[in-house]
Amino acid sequence: MKYDAVIIGSGQAGSPLAAKLAKVGWKTALIEKRWVGGTCVNDGCTPSKTLIASGRRAYLARHSAALGIQMPAPVVDMAAVIQRKDRIVIAKRARLEEWLRKTDGLDLIIGTASFTGDKKLTVHHPDGTSTEVEGEFIFVNTGASPQIPAIEGVNDTPYYTSTTIMDLKTVPDHLVILGAGYIAMEFGQLFRRLGSQVTLLERSAALLNKEDDDIAGELKNILEMEGIKIRLGTAVTKASRLADGKIELTLSSNGTSQTLTGSHWLIASGRLPNLRELKPERAGIVLTEKGFIKTDDRLETSVKGIYALGDVREGPAFTHISYNDYLVVSRNLLDKAGLSVQDRLVPYCMFTDPELGRIGLTEKAAREKGRRIKVAKLSMTQVARGIETGETRGMMKAIVDEETHEILGASILAPHGGEIMSVLEVAMMGKLPYEKIRDGIFAHPTFSESLNNLFMTLDNA
């Protein structure tokens, strides 16, 4: 079957791109091996944030006495927590699939795609049959999956990934997490709040090395205050399963070796692109050293007419970036917009509590680039809304160009940190000087209003 466009993977770039091209008259095929919606709907954003909401309710119930509300200790019904998550995921997936199937000019094909040549594919269906597909344009949006490190005994020891742990219907007694990145932080706090003992193991000596030390240190303190144990400079060299079903990990730290026992083991140490079955080499597609699809700044691969979008290419692995990839590609193809991903702003949010909302340069990155900067900082203990709600953990930080006064970046570790950060993102999009935020009128009392005070700290610097 020949198409104008073939999209492989129905993630946050693939689905809207398929619908958009079909609506403008392109004969379009969307190939999905499992469920529509990609990682975000099925294994990432939707289910994890649904579970995190349950964890927060348990946390608030335990700490209500500080606000004068006496409550019995919460009882976590993990099966019910998972059922709620499943209902939300299934409903969202169903709405998306209905929309795709009702789109004229779009064929939704369920199966696993493999390149057989230049812009030619075989799709292997679940029933054992196959279909040959060819497209003038090919768009790869196959995403990424958890990476399992080569640790002695790992294949003989039960472990969970960020995908499988979201189906766990009992609360672990002791959850040991390999890694201390964004995924590990979110799941660590979630399960601690649901009642687990939690230990995070991180090979590097620093936490969240892409963030500034003060932000990472503040978050570390917050998690440790909740009872999470964080062990830095610690590598796992061996894993085994004990007779009682528990897992035992051999750890190496500062030249010494010791063991750690836990009831459950979560591996959250990175992700790899989903390319094994696709076999991109058959189409002549060049990969990066890390095995991701290599693209130019307009997301075209080494093969003209074949594009890669989302986590399958090397770059920021966020749902909203995947969606922006769709906008870049569709506008360039349909509107000749000439858009590039080269210098786009990359906001992101880590959904710990408090959230870490991030945009632009950190202080560390700005100084490494030789930028002349001013740094604004504000503790959440000085934020009126935080004091009123009893949420004073965290801090706000912004990086400002010393000459132009434009905002270069921000780290907002605060309740609704992602929403507060977005105010500064809009300011950065408009290249506004920080004084516009400092002197702006915000509704009182809100967390965003405290951005006035954040930038007032520069007046006293």
Q: Which of 251, 268, 285 is the last residue of a domain?
A: 268
Determine the pLDDT at residue 460: 74
How do 106-110 and 197-201 pair as beta strands?
unpaired
Question: Do 318 and 378 share a domain, yes or no?
Answer: no
Give just the sign of the alpha carbon dihedral 53, 58, 62, 64. positive
Pairing of strands 407-414, 395-401: antiparallel
Classify residue 389: in a domain, yes or no: yes
Residue 232 lies in a domain: yes
Domain boundary among 282, 312, 335: 335
pLDDT confidence of residue 459: 87
Examine residue 62 and state whether it is found in any structural domain, yes or no: yes
Please give the chain's pLDDT, 461 residues, in tens: 999 999 999 999 999 999 999 999 999 999 999 999 999 999 999 999 999 999 999 999 999 999 999 999 999 999 999 999 999 999 999 999 999 999 999 999 999 999 999 999 999 999 999 999 999 999 999 999 999 999 999 999 999 999 999 999 999 999 999 999 999 999 999 999 999 999 999 999 999 999 999 999 999 999 999 999 999 999 999 999 999 999 999 999 998 999 999 999 999 999 999 999 999 999 999 999 999 999 999 999 999 999 999 999 998 899 999 999 999 999 999 999 999 999 899 999 999 999 999 999 999 999 999 999 999 999 999 999 999 999 999 999 999 999 999 999 999 999 999 999 999 999 999 999 999 999 999 999 999 999 999 999 998 76
Q: How far apart are CA 442 and CA 279, in angstroms?
A: 53
Give the side-chain half-sphere CA count within 13 A for 169. 5
d(CA 361, CA 210): 10
The residues annotated as belonging to the active site are: 444
Residue 461, pLDDT score: 62
How many residues are present in the chain?
A: 461
299 and 438 housed in the same domain: no
Q: Which residues are annotated as a binding site?
A: 49, 179-186, 202, 270, 311
Identify whether 394 is part of a domain.
yes
Known binding-site residues for NAD(+) equal 179-186, 202, 270
Shared domain check, 85 and 210: no
| Among 306, 335, 364, residue at a domain's last position | 335
- Is 342 contained in some domain? no
Q: What span, in angstroms and rounded, lies between the C-alpha atoms of 424 and 414? A: 14
CA dist., res. 440 & res. 435, Å (int)? 8
Residues 255 and 306 in one domain: no
Sign of CA dihedral 270, 276, 281, 285: negative
**CATH code of the domain containing 355:** 3.30.390.30
CA 17 to chain centre: 21
Shared domain for 312 and 281, answered yes or no, is yes
Asked whether residue 311 falls in the same domain as residue 213, the answer is no
**Token output for 429:** 């999009």
Q: Is 301 exposed, middle or buried (0-12, 13-18, 19+ CB in 10 A)?
A: buried
Which pLDDT score is estimated for 315?
87
12 in the same domain as 138 = yes
Assess whether 264 and 411 both reside in one domain.
Answer: no
Report the 3 state secondary structure along 61-105: HHCHHHHCCCCCCCCCCHHHHHHHHHHHHHHHHHHHHHHHHCCCC
Domain count along the chain: 3
Domain of 44, CATH number, reads 3.50.50.60
Assign residue 61 a region: left if phi > 0, alpha if psi is -120 to 50, beta otherwise?
A: alpha
Q: Are residues 381 and 432 in the same domain?
A: yes
The tokens describing 196, both together, are: 């687990």
Q: The pTM is what?
A: 0.95
* Domain shared by 443 and 353, yes or no: yes
Cα(23)–Cα(5) distance, rounded to whole angstroms?
12
Integer Cα distance of 39 and 321 in angstroms: 13
Same domain, 372 and 291: no
- Three-state SS for 141? coil
Residue 27's contacts (CB-CB under 8 Å, 6 or more residues apart) are: 2, 3, 4, 5, 105
The reply to whether 340 falls in a domain is no
When computed from its CA atoms, the radius of gyration of the chain, rounded to whole angstroms, is 24
In a domain, 429, yes or no: yes
Structural domain boundaries, residue 206: 149-268
* Residue 341 belongs to some domain of the structure: no
Q: Does 358 share its domain with 424?
A: yes
CA–CA gap between residue 252 and residue 236 (Å, rounded): 6
